[in-house]
Amino acid sequence: MRRRGGVGLSLALLFPAASLLSADPLNCTLHGIAAPQAFEVRAHGETLDISWTGEHGTHLRAAFGIDHAAPVVRELSADGVLLGRDLVPEITTVSGVRRAAHGLPDEHRWDVFWDAPLVIPGRGEAQGLPRKPEEIRRASSSFDTHSCEVRQEGARLEISFPGLSLGIFSGRLQFTAYQGSNLLRMEAIAKNDQPSVAYKYTAGLGGFSLDQLQRVTWRDAAGNPQRYEFGGTPNRDAVPLVARNRLAIAEGARGSLAVFPPPHQFFFAREIEVNSGYVWYRKNARSFSLGVRQGDTAGGYDPTWIEQVYALYNAPPGTWQRMAVYFYLAPGDAASTRDAALAYTHGDRFRPLPGYQVMATHFHTAFAEELAKTGSLDVQPPWIPAIRDLGVNIVMLDDFHGDGHARDTGRVRLEELRNYYEACQRHSDRDFLILPGEEANEYLGGHYNLLFPKPVYWTHARTAGQSFMQPDDPYGTVYHPANAGELFDMLRREDALVWQTHPRTKGSTFYPDRIREQDYFRSDQWLGAGFKAMPVDLSESRLCEKRCFSTLDDMNNWDGPKYLVGEVDTYKKFPDYDLYGDFNVNYVKLDVLPPAADWTALNRALRAGDFFVSTGEVLLGDFRVNPSGITADVEWTFPLEFVEVVWGDGERVDRKVIPTREAQAFGKQRFEIPVDLSKQKWVRFAAWDSAVNGAFTQPIFLKK
């Protein structure tokens, strides 16, 4: 039986078991099945069959059923090439207890960074330590499914199966197909009622036959092609693949299937980007499973320190967590499928835009210290090519954050600064600028990033006999601030910028709220605060939805204009790290790259708010405010989910959200959104896609 058309249709169809011995009756409710050119939905026997047109006219098909009260993917194919049959969803979770840290009240536990719920007995400053083994709960998916729901919303089709149990979580399993795309998203959508849950998940499909797909291929951490031909005895456990680009591909004689996680939302905040193996396979005698995962640990570097920072995802009670995995269906070989799947992240590169420079901030690489250990300022450290390969051409460092001698008030500190400035200039070139920033925590409150427009010599304190400003050959004028007033005087004299790093968490908990009335915060030299998806809650439709954007909007209602600077906030990095998923960048409106000795033009652009923040998949062009509303140009790779206009009047924040579920993958559109801004103080714009990648402008002030 075939059903087409009928917007708003809600129809229950019951098909008794007939041809498949293990099949259950298929009872599916259909909603809004329209536009026959988008999806063909057909139910026959015990099978729900959907087909759609993907990229370059590819004909894609997925069939679903219910066996023994559990959903099953009866078939996946691309252009008639069978990729899988009778595939079983495999989802697991590991959960622990979320705790507050630094002696904070329990209500601050959802903003925690210094937490590692899977480490027993635990160390650090979290409340209630040590942890106990019984706090850690592991669960695998089970089902009591007797129906399904099919819903078309614009250019996507959702097939949902209720009755999912996943330990402390319960909910449904959902598949989503997208018109014009070869993607098939599978996700567990589930909630729990526990008070303090932190968790991670694995997700995949099992039952791929070696008759259709004979090998799995990937690139190793160094970028070298690797393959496994499914020989040997069966695996007991999943085999993690430390795969470059977080991507593995199962390949057969005529077709292939890629698997990967959401590019950015999948990654909870860490201090380093060690690739702990984000994809996996597990082989049986004549079949195998394939999916995505996070490791139980951070993956090395310095376990005695890094174990404090493996915070997992937040799962506040009652929130619908979306645990997703993407499959890419293709009739071609693994090489072409890899290229097609990577197109969704521009090959893991931040695409250049005319008139913009791509800036990434907040890296604790200990640049000056590591070069001093080599005995030469001319040795290129491994983080330079690693970051440069992402398409970043301005990188801001934060030395003296645990390295060097930040507390020294004399020649040791000044000589380290001189080496720092010289190293940044020496390793910059016409296409790549290294900025010598510093994250400090003296006098102003919380942690803050400080960016001079050129090299400036200063210390974090002063000793007897030193004055606030004094000449010191060969450094010129040296500043020795001893309080907030003097530090801000230095910033004013040198035209520096400062912004709160990781606001309302870590060392900036309660900030910038506690300094909102300070002269230095109200100055336009205080740029605003930093943006990083930390912590991560998979129920949110925007990265850092609650902490970051509430800080941005509050700051602008307090005074403003204030901005949100994209930051990464990680430490050492090497070529085998997988950086892209942990990055967001600032597209700064500058025609040319400033020189390494004086980047005043960059500071001016930041101070004016002439930049937008992006994860890379969503890009913004022209953004204008006019008497009747706003106009914005948006470009995207993953199907776009919504765009929004956000505004404030000095006291409250409002927004207008425009769903974009008609948008197909790899699109571009000018949005003209009518909004009455006549009584508003400021306005901003953002766009977010179906994988929770996004981009947002800085607020534009309409009146003081």
- Contact (CB, 8 A) for 168 and 95: yes
Same domain, 653 and 599: no
Claim to verify: residue 634 and residue 704 sit in the same structural domain: yes
In the chain, the percentage of residues whose pLDDT exceeds 70 is 95
Q: Above 50 in pLDDT, residue 218?
A: yes
Q: What pLDDT, in 10s, does the model give residues 445-474?
A: 999 999 999 999 999 999 999 999 999 999
Q: What pLDDT, on the 0 to 100 scale, is given for residue 26?
A: 87
pLDDT value at position 124? Answer: 74
- Where does the pLDDT of residue 8 fall: very low under 50, low under 70, confident under 90, or very high at 90 and above? very low
Q: Note the pTM of the prediction, 2 decimals.
A: 0.95
Give the domain CATH number at 84.
2.70.98
**Which residues form the domain of 150?**
2-91+140-294+321-345
481 with 490: CB under 8 angstroms? Answer: yes
Does the structure show a pLDDT above 60 at 9?
Answer: no
* Cα–Cα distance for residue pair 451/457, rounded to 1 Å: 12
Question: Do 609 and 627 fall into the same domain?
Answer: no
Indicate if the pLDDT at residue 4 is higher than 70: no
pLDDT for res 304:
52
pLDDT band of 123, cuts 50, 70, 90: confident
Number of compact structural domains in the chain: 3
Looking at residue 71, its pLDDT comes to 97
Residue 605: inside a domain: yes
User: In the numeric block, which tokens belong to residue 441?
Assistant: 């925590």
114 phi and psi angles, rounded to 5 deg:
-80, 80
Residues 381 and 237 in one domain: no
pLDDT of residue 15: 34
- Residue 229 in domain: yes
Confidence (pLDDT) at 7: 32
For 32, residues 6+ apart whose C-beta sits below 8 A from its C-beta are 6, 7, 8, 9, 151, 152, 153
Q: Which of 500, 484, 504 is CA-nearest to residue 492?
A: 484
In this structure, is residue 106 part of a structural domain?
no
User: What is the rounded CA–CA span in Å between residue 341 and residue 322?
Assistant: 21
- Looking at the structure, tell me whether residues 505 and 405 fall in a common domain: yes
368 and 341 fall within a common domain: no
The pLDDT-based confidence of 35 (bands split at 50, 70, 90) is: low
**Per-residue pLDDT at 412:** 97
pLDDT, tens digit, 9 for 90 and up, residues 36-47: 568 999 988 899
Residue 122 confidence (pLDDT): 84
Which 3 state secondary structure label does DSSP give 604? Answer: helix
Same domain (yes/no): 215, 202? yes
The predicted pLDDT at position 294 comes to 94
Which band of pLDDT confidence, cut at 50, 70 and 90, is reported for residue 73? very high
Q: Outline where DSSP puts E strands in 480-584.
A: 497-500, 526-531, 563-566
pLDDT over 70 at 305, yes or no:
no
pLDDT at residue 10 in the model: 34
Output the domain CATH number for residue 674: 2.60.40
- Whether 133 is in a domain gets the answer no
Q: Give the alpha-carbon dihedral of 696, 315, 573, 586, to 10 degrees.
A: 10
* 672 and 610 assigned to the same domain: no
pLDDT exceeds cutoff 90 at 577 = yes
Say yes or no: 48 and 146 in one domain: yes
Please state, in angstroms and rounded to a whole number, the distance separating the CA atoms of residues 259 and 249. 6
Q: What is the mean pLDDT of the chain?
A: 93
Share of the chain above pLDDT 90, in %: 86
